[in-house]
Structure 1
Amino acid sequence: MKYAYLVGIVLSILLGSFFNWILCCEISDTTGVEEDNGTLTEKVATGNNPFIISDNTGDFEYQSDNNFNFDISNFIIKRPVSPEIDQGVTSLKSYIGNQNNKFVDITGYYDPAEENKSAFPNLGLARANAVKNYLLSLGVSSKKLNIHGAVKGGLLSTKDSIIEGPVSVAITENANIKDAQAVVDAIKQNPIVLHFDSGKSTIQLTQEQREKYLDIVRALDKVDHVSILVEGHTDNTGTPEGNLVLGKKRASFIKDYLVTNGVTPIRIQTVSKGQDEPIAENETEQGRSQNRRIVITVN
């Protein structure tokens, strides 16, 4: 009798372990993926917005349940990106490569409740620019790519604060750009000017400055041999040598900000003018505050 009782206990333990293993494996299949090296990593979240590329005037179409994902109020693409997206982009590159009348419209979406922390006029444009840069990294020509931003409600109803797939990609026959060289000339005449207060470490662009920044980014995409020039200027407080160093530090700070906002570092030049090019008198605090500035232009 005692022997049968012990056998029953052992069988209960074995059955419990078996079902626990089954359930564990089933749960793991929905939350992670086993890599070749045997480690478990989190899957890319799949949302309600599939990744679709289509040409309404041609015969190209690609669709994947995976898409580009972003954190709320953020424009940095969540990694890793699904290999299915890379496959779609590679097919897109081959399709439009030799067709001069084919372009790609990338539209990024944002919820009106999100905070725009980017240098772009809206968060949708910042997301579209991030996706554009991803396509560039896979060899798609920047001259083929146009970015747009649009508001779209309901994006915040997601899990884990991740917005799933707030982007669309469409093939068009409309270049949809202004005269890029004219934009370059306009920026040279009316650059972005930022003023520095002592100890300032954040950047707050006005809406007008954000629009100028968008023009600069689009010009970089469409005009060859154009780069961003960041000039650092100071007042005459201190020594000329020290102000040259200070102007360079401020210009480098802005360069880092622009890189964060999607500009390739090699497309940005920095220079310090120190105190040599004042735009106001240094005898007053108001004049000195105007001279402490950063000028963002193109050359």
Structure 2
Amino acid sequence: MSKKTAYLLGILITIIIGTLLYCYLCDSCYCCPPDNVTETSTETNIVVPEPEMESVTKNGLSLSDANGDFNIKINDNFNFKTSNFSILDPLSENVSSEVMRLKDYLAANPLKTIDITGYYKSDETNDSAFPNLGIARANAVKNYLVSQGISAKQINTLGKLNDSIIPDDTNTLFGPLEFGMLTAESDATDEALEAACEAIRKNPIVLYFNTGQAQINLTAEQRKKIAVISHCVDKLGLKIQAIGHTDNTGSAATNMRLGQERADFAKGYLVRNGILGTNIETSSEGPNSPIADNSTKDGQAKNRRTVITIN
């Protein structure tokens, strides 16, 4: 081998050895990838989970007598819009026919009573006169049953918070109610209810509002009293009295008319909130029963009032 050939061969071997050493010692080089590294695509598929859809709650009408042979179990029920207590029309024929069976059964068993518990959600707006929409809904169903001939004395109304009920996409709640049946040992008067009714007589609801006012805004305490008054009417056969009062400004005739208008306005409010109009009596005291001094503006304002009580 000539010296020139040996020289060129040495240069080639040096280049090869240098390249191998460079690849081995350089971590960021890809000429000699490690055995445990595999090529991957730079594209990644991102999977976006679909939102979970809540199932609409549909409660059928269910009512049975544990101490008798009466039973109702159907898919239909009384339905309501969210934040509302009016029963949606049309009512199912199945519900109507079962109500007739219930009417006959309760008439034949006067010691039987039914509990109607209305459900409501915490995110609903309660514009009713009752403490919550559950009681208002139960009261609406009670009124329907009474209209079909069932005695109000055999119906109890309650309300219960239930955030698990889900409306449909039209904000309809299907059967937000629970029904139960009880058997009383006797038809003795409820002493606790009588005491509650007497408390209303001693401390009635007093409303102060202007003649042109279109809405009555009850306090939480007044809403509780409305629920008690409703039970007094249903169970004891009492009547609601709405009595209008005025100050002594103007003529006696004008004030008597104004007092009556205030009483009628209060009655209209109660009727719109599910109290049967046949259970409400209105009257006017005009300026004849002041509770404050009419010589002051503050006293006159206190005398312009409507009192809601029971007799």
Report the TM-score, using the length of structure 2 for normalisation: 0.76
Task: Give the whole-Å Cα distance in 2 for the aligned partners of 1:178 and 1:215.
Answer: 14
Task: Give the whole-Å Cα distance in 2 for the aligned partners of 1:261 and 1:129.
Answer: 9
State the Cα distance separating 1:238 from its structure 2 match.
2.4
Partner of residue 283, structure 2: 271
Task: Give the whole-Å Cα distance in 2 for the aligned partners of 1:156 and 1:240.
Answer: 55
Partner of residue 57, structure 1: 67
State the Cα distance separating 1:161 from its structure 2 match.
1.6
Task: Give the whole-Å Cα distance in 2 for the aligned partners of 1:59 and 1:266.
Answer: 34
Q: Please tell me the root mean square deviation across aligned C-alpha atoms, in Å.
A: 2.0
Residues 29-86 of structure 1: CA distance to partner in whole angstroms, max 9, x if unpaired? xxxxxxxxxxxxxxxxx96111111123333221111111111111111111111111
Question: Contact 2:84 / 2:133 at 8 angstroms: preserved in 1?
Answer: yes
Q: Does the alignment pair 1:235 with 2:247?
A: yes
Matches within 5 A, 1:87-126: 87-126=97-136
Q: Does the alignment pair 1:294 with 2:309?
A: no
Task: Give the whole-Å Cα distance in 2 for the aligned partners of 1:267 and 1:149.
Answer: 22
Provide the secondary structure at the position in 2 that maps to 1:213: helix
Partner of residue 206, structure 2: 193
Matches within 5 A, 1:70-89: 70-89=80-99
Task: Give the whole-Å Cα distance in 2 for the aligned partners of 1:177 and 1:168.
Answer: 23
Matches within 5 A, 1:113-152: 113-152=123-162
Provide the secondary structure at the position in 2 that maps to 1:119: coil
Task: Give the whole-Å Cα distance in 2 for the aligned partners of 1:89 and 1:66.
Answer: 12
Partner of residue 222, structure 2: 209
Paired amino acid for 1:185: E
Structure 2 unaligned spans of 5+: 1-55
Question: Contact 2:143 / 2:276 at 8 angstroms: preserved in 1?
Answer: no
Residues 253-290 of structure 1: CA distance to partner in whole angstroms, max 9, x if unpaired? 11111111222222211111111211111222221111
Task: Give the whole-Å Cα distance in 2 for the aligned partners of 1:49 and 1:97.
Answer: 26
Paired amino acid for 2:216: I
Question: Contact 1:111 / 1:156 at 8 angstroms: preserved in 2?
Answer: no
Task: Give the whole-Å Cα distance in 1 for the aligned partners of 2:82 and 2:101.
Answer: 30
Structure 1 window deviating more from structure 2 (161-170 vs 115-124): it is: 161-170
State the Cα distance separating 1:198 from its structure 2 match.
5.5
Structure 1 unaligned spans of 5+: 1-45
How high is the sequence identity, in percent, across the aligned residues? 44
Task: Give the whole-Å Cα distance in 1 for the aligned partners of 2:218 and 2:79.
Answer: 26
